[in-house]
Amino acid sequence: MRWSTRVPSTDHELPLLLLRDAPGVLARLVRDAFGVELGDDLVESSAAFHELEPAAYVADLVVVGDEVVVVVEVQRARNDLKRARWPLYLASAHAKHARAAWLVVIALDEAVSAWAKRPIETFQGGALTPLVIGPPEIPRVLDVDAAKSAPELAVLSAMAHGKDARHAVEIGVAALVAAGEVGLRDEDRGKLYFDVVLDALADVARAALEASMKLEGYEYRSEFARHYVAQGRAEGLRAAVRMLCEAFGIEWNEARERAIATLDAPALERLCARLQHERRWPD
């Protein structure tokens, strides 16, 4: 499969791409936020639900495991008509797959997340309360190793928390390293992740990256991605070191440039981690 390098609608299409590619991230988020075990065997299924009449309703994503079926909706804004259809999606999924059915809503906007969490009055006095994954339920992935082990979660973290002034640089570095790791296996996907992460970052973090790479305009993102993928993790991590130093006000000089030129990728990852935690050049 070849991935388009066009940046999708970051609030809707990209979360679906991430969860299609890594359903385990969905299971992890639901387990950590709500204590509900969905299992580790989720696979994508048809998201179309048909009525007796020809009309059809299509959910954003449906994944199925041995014991569960999960309907996933990504919500960018309040939409009461769409919300009224969620019980239909869930009842149809339950009838089709004959197993426990769960509704999970991804809402990266806090106000939309709060709206989606309200119970939906359904049948005979009952109500359906969606499991809503909003910014509070998405962890801030700050650690490079954690980002590499779960790159889709790291990208989702950047989308949810990239405007966090306190942690934007650390979140951005972790997500960019994860995107580079993915790019070594699938260049198109890596480029897409780079673009989305950079779009999600706060101005200060993005400005630091732009300054360190000395690139301009939209095309810099694809050029950075191609450079990272072509040169491997080390070159991208050297850029991350420069970015962290500029963001934290750490003096940059020729000696430090020479120092990082001799380091391999694992050593650069350790240096990034120390800079993030200590916010000074290590002795």
**What value does the mean pLDDT of the chain take?**
81
The pLDDT value recorded for residue 209 is 54
Tell me the C-alpha distance between 121 and 127, whole Å: 4
The pLDDT value recorded for residue 3 is 35
| Token couple for 117 | 């969490």
Looking at the chain, the whole-number percentage of residues with pLDDT higher than 90 is 40
Residue among 204, 131, 206 nearest 175 (CA): 206
The pLDDT value recorded for residue 245 is 85
pLDDT tens, residue by residue, 53-80 = 444 567 889 999 999 999 999 999 999 9
Contact predicate 135/110, CB 8 Å: yes
What is the mean predicted confidence (pLDDT) over 129-141? 95
Q: Does residue 21 sit in helix, strand or coil?
A: helix
**Tokens 């991350």 identify what position?**
240
The pLDDT value recorded for residue 214 is 41
pLDDT top residue among 96 and 167: 96
Tell me the C-alpha distance between 250 and 233, whole Å: 23
pLDDT top residue among 151 and 210: 151
Of 23-27, 47-51, 90-94, 98-102, minimum mean pLDDT range? 47-51
Of 37-41, 102-106, 148-152, 207-211, minimum mean pLDDT range? 207-211
Q: CB-based burial of residue 33 (10 Å sphere; 0-12 exposed, 13-18 middle, 19+ buried)?
A: middle
Which amino acid, one-letter code, is at 71? V
Map out the domains of the chain with their CATH numbers: 13-137 (3.40.1350), 144-278 (no CATH)
The pLDDT value recorded for residue 227 is 52
pLDDT tens, residue by residue, 167-213 = 887 888 888 888 888 887 887 888 888 888 888 887 766 665 554 44
Tell me the C-alpha distance between 268 and 232, whole Å: 12
